[in-house]
Chains A and B, each alone.
Chain A
Amino acid sequence: MILRLLLAEGLKIKRTWMVILPMLGALGILAVLIVDYRLRSEYILGKYPDTVTGFLLEAQIILPITILIGGSLLASLAGSMEHQGNAWKYVLALPVSRWQVYLAKFLILFFLMLLFSGGATVSLACLWKGLGLTGEVPWKTLAMGVTWPVIAALPVLAIQLTLSLRMNNQSVPIIVGVLGALFAPAFANWLPWSYVFQVVPVDYAMSRRFENDPSLWLPIALGEGLIFFIVGMALFQRQEVHS
């Protein structure tokens, strides 16, 4: 059943921005870092103990915000599709369990986020080559550098998807997503929006953010993501379909 639902979800995202958005995000990161390295490459190269660390920490200018805001947008696009065409009353009168519908939506969302991390890894590798940095392209580190924040964003993705599925008007979820991304990390490191900033796969001591500790925050994000996911699923299970 889940497979059938995923196939249906796959068809739904045809001709939408949902497939293009992760690619645009990856290209956006590439563009910002090109400018960054163009303007101040000597400063950057001198500032960090090694090139990979510098590379990943510089990517922090743009990567976490892109993941949080991009994730909110994707969740909104995925969650609002049925609201727009009054389709909930049809979909939920089909012989499917609601939790499966919710799971399928979440899996598609997570799949698109992974698509983004793939694209971003390739972007970073291209930049590495383009800048003529020394040594082989550190594929594994780069991939971890973009995928760990995506995993750390799971609680936020669950919150956003739940909001977008519940609300007809998508401005509320979008506002929550943007405000969370911009302000929550400055407020407290235990807020779900902060984890994305705290999982850079570089040595703790070298990081500017002293909260950075993937071995601590990744499990927390996974656990919290699971909790929010279950809560969202339970809310969706009970949701009444009026529109």
Chain B
Amino acid sequence: MSETDIVVQTKGLTRCYQKFTAVDHVDLTIRRGEIYGFLGPNGAGKTTTIRMLLGLIRSTSGQVKIFGESLEVKKKEILRRVGSLVESPSYYGHLTGQENLEIARRILGVSPSNIEHVLERVRLTNVADKKVKQYSLGMKQRLGIALALLGNPEILILDEPTNGLDPGGMQEVRSLIQELSKEQGVTILVSSHLLSEIDQIAHRVGIIRRGKMIFQDRMETLREMSRPRMRLGVNRVEEATRYLTKIGWSVSCEGEHIWSEGLTNQETATMVETLVKGKFSVYRIEEVKQPLEEIFLGLTGKEEGL
């Protein structure tokens, strides 16, 4: 991977509020054209990181490089090529959707046809002349995405873009993200507190917990962590578990089943044989894959209310 492939890079990015460290030495790397899922429980430091990427707040230490340039030095040039939607949507309620876009268009200095184009993209054309304060939350969120797209950005930073959307709306945003990535090669950073949100679309993920990046790799690598477990249905389950444990098997009894991890085919056969020899009836043997969400919860800690 060459240096030019990396479009966003932070090194030791840190932000402290008095004694609280919201973001702690985060090294984030996003490559050109990829969809990067930025995951973490609420309050883990996602939004703080994103605000630093956009220069909305200062970092306590560390640096941000976008397109290989320091954000501090070339802020305006960098922001021209970046579109963003941070948390709740931004809008002027007394103006129409069209006028909201026109304000941004005047500042960006792009063609008026861009407005029509982005309105179509987020399906707001038919309500473009309505005041934004009459919009539903989902419509405001879509207007936010339209605003982010207005300047034809090379990097799109979307912080919780599906917040407040109904399931249909969520699916639509996901499709839009995939389209932009595939058709226009836009690099996209999308944050979420739900793995299921970006599970299907992200190429790479970064998982942040209590301000620290605890995982950053390809989506497949995260999936590989999902090791299958074996579930056995037997009679006298507690007795059977004790029997197996006594002769050295690593098993556990959960509910009506015996559970074991990382068994090879031969080991499985031997275990069944042992049980049958011990006069236990084996009803069924199933392989259970751990859902990705479980792994995510395992990484981020269940106690941190998702």
Decide if A93 touches B106 in the complex (CB within 8 Å): no
**Does A86 reach chain B (CB closer than 8 Å)?**
yes
Choose among A11, A85, A96, A242 the residue that contacts B90 (Cβ–Cβ < 8 A). Answer: A85
Decide if A240 touches B107 in the complex (CB within 8 Å): no
Given A93-B86, A95-B108, A97-B76, CB of A84 within 8 Å of CB of B102: no
Shortest Cβ distance from B208 into chain A, in angstroms? 18
Shortest Cβ distance from B52 into chain A, in angstroms? 10
Choose among B56, B77, B151 the residue that contacts A92 (Cβ–Cβ < 8 A). Answer: B56
| Interface SS majority for chain A | loop
Decide if A93 touches B54 in the complex (CB within 8 Å): yes
Quick one: CB contact mask for B38-71 with A, threshold 8 Å, 1 for yes? 0000000000000100111110000000000000
Shortest Cβ distance from A90 into chain B, in angstroms? 4
Quick one: CB contact mask for A227-242 with B, threshold 8 Å, 1 for yes? 0000000000000111
Given A11-B99, A12-B92, CB of A89 within 8 Å of CB of B79: no
- Measured between beta carbons, the chain A residues less than 8 angstroms from B82 are 93
- Measured between beta carbons, the chain A residues less than 8 angstroms from B54 are 89, 93
- Measured between beta carbons, the chain B residues less than 8 angstroms from A90 are 84-86, 90, 104, 144, 147
Decide if B107 touches A94 in the complex (CB within 8 Å): yes
Shortest Cβ distance from B67 into chain A, in angstroms? 13
**Does B80 reach chain A (CB closer than 8 Å)?**
yes
Decide if B51 touches A89 in the complex (CB within 8 Å): yes
Decide if B92 touches A4 in the complex (CB within 8 Å): no
How big is chain A's contact interface, by range? 20 to 34
**Does A15 reach chain B (CB closer than 8 Å)?**
yes
Whole-angstrom distance between the alpha carbons of A12 and B108 in the complex? 15
Quick one: CB contact mask for A95-116 with B, threshold 8 Å, 1 for yes? 1110000000000000000000
Choose among B57, B85, B89, B93 the residue that contacts A242 (Cβ–Cβ < 8 A). Answer: B57
Decide if A95 touches B79 in the complex (CB within 8 Å): yes
Decide if A96 touches B95 in the complex (CB within 8 Å): no
Decide if B108 touches A94 in the complex (CB within 8 Å): yes
Choose among A4, A89, A95, A242 the residue that contacts B76 (Cβ–Cβ < 8 A). Answer: A95
Closest to B89 in A: A86
Quick one: CB contact mask for A64-99 with B, threshold 8 Å, 1 for yes? 000000000000000001001111111111111100
Whole-angstrom distance between the alpha carbons of A21 and B80 in the complex? 36
Decide if A241 touches B51 in the complex (CB within 8 Å): yes
Quick one: CB contact mask for B142-166 with A, threshold 8 Å, 1 for yes? 0010010001000000000000000
**Does B305 reach chain A (CB closer than 8 Å)?**
no
**Does B223 reach chain A (CB closer than 8 Å)?**
no
Shortest Cβ distance from A181 into chain B, in angstroms? 27
Decide if A96 touches B76 in the complex (CB within 8 Å): yes
- Measured between beta carbons, the chain A residues less than 8 angstroms from B103 are 8, 11-12
Given A86-B90, A90-B84, CB of A241 within 8 Å of CB of B57: yes
**Does A134 reach chain B (CB closer than 8 Å)?**
no
Q: Which of B101-116 contact A (CB under 8 A)?
A: 102-104, 106-109
Whole-angstrom distance between the alpha carbons of A131 and B162 in the complex? 65
Choose among B80, B99, B107 the residue that contacts A4 (Cβ–Cβ < 8 A). Answer: B107
**Does B215 reach chain A (CB closer than 8 Å)?**
no
Most chain-B Cβ atoms within 10 A of its Cβ — which of A8, A91, A95, A97?
A: A95
- Measured between beta carbons, the chain B residues less than 8 angstroms from A97 are 76
- Measured between beta carbons, the chain A residues less than 8 angstroms from B90 are 85-91
Whole-angstrom distance between the alpha carbons of A131 and B158 in the complex? 64
Decide if A93 touches B107 in the complex (CB within 8 Å): no
**Does B91 reach chain A (CB closer than 8 Å)?**
yes
- Measured between beta carbons, the chain B residues less than 8 angstroms from A84 are 92-93
Most chain-B Cβ atoms within 10 A of its Cβ — which of A14, A88, A97?
A: A14
**Does A215 reach chain B (CB closer than 8 Å)?**
no
Decide if B106 touches A4 in the complex (CB within 8 Å): yes
Interface residues of B (CB under 8 A from A): 51, 54-58, 76-77, 79-80, 82, 84-95, 99, 102-104, 106-109, 132, 144, 147, 151
23 intermolecular pairs with C-beta atoms under 8 Å apart: A7-B106, A8-B107, A11-B103, A11-B106, A14-B95, A84-B93, A85-B91, A85-B93, A86-B89, A89-B54, A89-B84, A90-B84, A90-B90, A90-B104, A91-B107, A92-B55, A93-B54, A93-B55, A93-B56, A93-B82, A94-B79, A95-B77, A241-B51
Beyond contacts A5-B106, A95-B77: 5 other A-B pairs, Cβ-Cβ < 8 A, are: A85-B93, A86-B87, A89-B90, A94-B104, A97-B76
Nearest 6 interchain pairs by C-beta: A90-B90, A95-B80, A241-B56, A87-B90, A95-B79, A93-B54
